């Protein structure tokens, strides 16, 4: 009885060589994976090139978004530094001024207490309005970049009389990158505002609880 021939087993190198060129992994692409990419981004020249390429792809709207994000985070960091340092000293000063008073029960003492709490609230909420405005502006700037990018795509189609893939890709990049950047900046700003508002409530409520009043003061006669 004649046995059938054994099946041929293709070697791994033969399979690799039979693949099309665009399916074969190149040494440069495989070597750039993993930690090597992170190390390359630590190079100032590579980082500068990546930033300039991002700005060129996104257009002038991305530059405006970067400036807005820089201003927003400078204000956020200033507020975080305030809550970490100066706000504690301000609370301690207000507590000392309240405890130095002999009268904690009269109508006038109650007015002094409300003034101390109001001063703390004003200082704690300083610049919060500007931060909220910047957070709201960033997604609108991203939408502006989307509109300008789509206008560029339509102008390319009109001028060339057809679909030029390279020019259309540049316009689509200018339409999508600003929106992505604006949403990213806005999301980080929303989280920062939530953190700052919790700090404001903690400082103001903590000061109000520490300024003890023995009973609810009654209005003095003849004082409205």
Domain segments of the chain as ranges: 28-58, 59-210
Cα angle 180, 182, 185 (rounded to 5 degrees) comes to 105
pTM above 0.75, yes or no: no
174-213, pLDDT tens digit by residue? 788 888 999 999 999 999 999 999 999 999 999 999 888 7
Q: Which residue has the tokens 């919790």?
A: 198
Measuring CA to CA, which residue among 73, 198, 212, 79 is closest to residue 134?
73
12-62, pLDDT tens digit by residue? 444 444 444 434 444 444 444 545 555 555 677 776 677 777 777 777 888
Encode 7-37: b = buried (16+ Cβ within 10 Å), e = exposed. eeeeeeeeeeeeeeeeeeeeeeeeeeeeeee
Q: Are 64 and 141 in contact (CB under 8 A)?
A: yes
């Amino acid at each position: 009885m004649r046995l059938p021939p054994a099946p041929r087993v293709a070697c791994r190198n033969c399979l690799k060589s039979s693949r099309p060129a665009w399916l074969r992994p190149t040494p440069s692409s495989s070597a750039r994976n993993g930690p090597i990419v992170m190390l390359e981004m630590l190079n100032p020249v590579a980082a500068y090139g990546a930033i300039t390429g991002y700005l060129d792809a996104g257009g002038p709207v991305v530059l405006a978004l970067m400036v807005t994000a820089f201003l927003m985070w400078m204000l956020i960091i200033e507020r975080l530094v305030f809550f970490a340092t100066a706000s504690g000293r301000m609370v301690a000063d207000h507590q000392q001024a309240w405890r130095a008073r002999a009268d904690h029960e009269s109508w006038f003492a109650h007015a002094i207490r409300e003034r101390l709490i109001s001063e703390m609230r004003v200082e704690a909420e300083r610049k919060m309005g500007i931060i909220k405005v910047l957070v709201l502006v960033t997604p609108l700037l991203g939408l502006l970049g989307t509109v300008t990018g789509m206008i560029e795509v339509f102008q390319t189609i009109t001028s060339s009389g057809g679909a030029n893939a390279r020019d259309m890709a540049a316009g689509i990049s200018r339409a999508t990158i600003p929106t992505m950047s604006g949403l990213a900046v806005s999301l980080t700003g929303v989280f920062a505002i939530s953190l700052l508002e919790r700090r404001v409530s903690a400082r103001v409520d903590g000061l109000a609880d520490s300024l003890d009043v023995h009973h609810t003061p009654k209005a003095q006669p003849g004082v409205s």
